[in-house]
């Protein structure tokens, strides 16, 4: 069993990550300068394949595919040309597959016609799981211990992480967000968190007359194989992820 008795990091607002908002056409970038983050993620209904390309590293210019450059994702004997998805400050490429079975192999080919080269990266989905507790609308006192339970894993080549997200109301009416993260869990099906050890819940700026809303995020990850022709630090992985039902935390009884 995993047990957390010390308060983890709390954030009053979302952190700003360093990243570039500049975009460079792929035809102007040599292959060895292209950094990639390639991953498959599923919550149990469909699987999304996502590829981020930057120059030299995660904070370099975004790369937009031009000329004859293509990203092709494959799974379960189906191939898709990945399409651009431009979000605020970011450019990535995506494909969606109707397959979520553990062990499914996903392949991403990056073809560069000008260099007569194809870079191939592979990932295998971990086994799926279900979150059992906490259940919807459960209510806990700040002095209680909350147990996150899930279908335990039996694979040796996966990693497990969780994040407890809590939203409380401040006395001024704004929201306060608290996050408790654990990135090296044993996949034994149980994690216990003593709410009384989360010091941020005792902040006098929080309105104790209102309950806090909370949920757990749980991710089982298997590292993939990224083509060595990409820039150093590139990565590939496949993730089975789940969110628990919402539950409440009472700050006074």
Cα–Cα distance, 212 to 248 (Å, whole number): 6
**Predicted TM-score (pTM) of this structure:** 0.89
Specify the pairing of strand 34-42 against strand 47-55.
antiparallel
For the 23-124 domain, the top CATH level (class) is mainly beta
Structural domain spans, the chain: 2-15+127-223+239-250, 23-124
How many CB atoms are closer than 10 A to CB 11? 12
CATH ID of 2-15+127-223+239-250, from 3.40.30, 2.40.50, 1.10.4160, 2.60.40? 2.60.40
Structure confidence at residue 116 as a pLDDT band (50, 70, 90): confident
The per-residue DSSP string of 129-173 comes to: --EEESPTT-EEETTSEEEEEE-----SS-EEEEEEEEEEEBTTS
Residues 141-155 have a mean pLDDT of: 96
Sequence-distant (6+) residues with CB within 8 A of 10 are 178, 179, 180, 198, 199, 200
Cα–Cα distance, 196 to 5 (Å, whole number): 9
Question: Is there a contact between 125 and 39 (Cβ–Cβ < 8 Å)?
Answer: no
Residues 139-144 have a mean pLDDT of: 97
Each residue's pLDDT tens digit, 150-201: 999 999 899 999 999 999 999 999 999 999 999 989 999 999 999 999 999 9
């Amino acid at each position: 069993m995993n047990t957390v008795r010390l308060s983890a990091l709390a954030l009053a607002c979302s952190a700003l990550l360093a990243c570039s908002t500049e975009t460079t056409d792929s035809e102007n970038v040599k292959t060895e300068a292209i950094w990639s983050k390639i991953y498959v993620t599923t919550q149990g209904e469909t699987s999304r394949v996502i590829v981020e390309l930057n120059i030299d590293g995660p904070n370099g210019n975004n790369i937009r595919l031009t000329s004859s450059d293509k990203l092709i994702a494959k799974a379960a004997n189906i191939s898709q040309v990945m399409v651009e998805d431009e979000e605020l400050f970011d450019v990535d490429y995506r494909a969606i597959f109707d397959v979520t079975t553990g062990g499914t192999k996903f392949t991403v080919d990056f073809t560069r016609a000008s260099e007569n080269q194809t870079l191939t990266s592979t990932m295998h989905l971990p086994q799926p799981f279900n979150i059992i507790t906490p259940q919807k609308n459960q209510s806990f006192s700040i002095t209680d211990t909350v147990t996150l339970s899930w279908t335990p894993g039996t694979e040796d080549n996966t990693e497990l992480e969780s994040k407890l997200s809590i939203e409380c109301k401040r006395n001024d009416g704004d929201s306060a967000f608290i996050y408790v993260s654990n990135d090296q869990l044993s996949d034994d099906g149980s994690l216990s968190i003593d709410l009384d050890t989360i010091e941020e819940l005792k902040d006098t700026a929080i309105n104790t007359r209102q309950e806090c809303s909370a949920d757990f995020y749980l991710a089982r990850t298997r590292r993939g194989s990224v083509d060595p022709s990409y820039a150093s630090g590139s990565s590939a992985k496949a993730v089975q992820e789940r969110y628990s039902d919402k539950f409440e935390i009472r700050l006074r009884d």
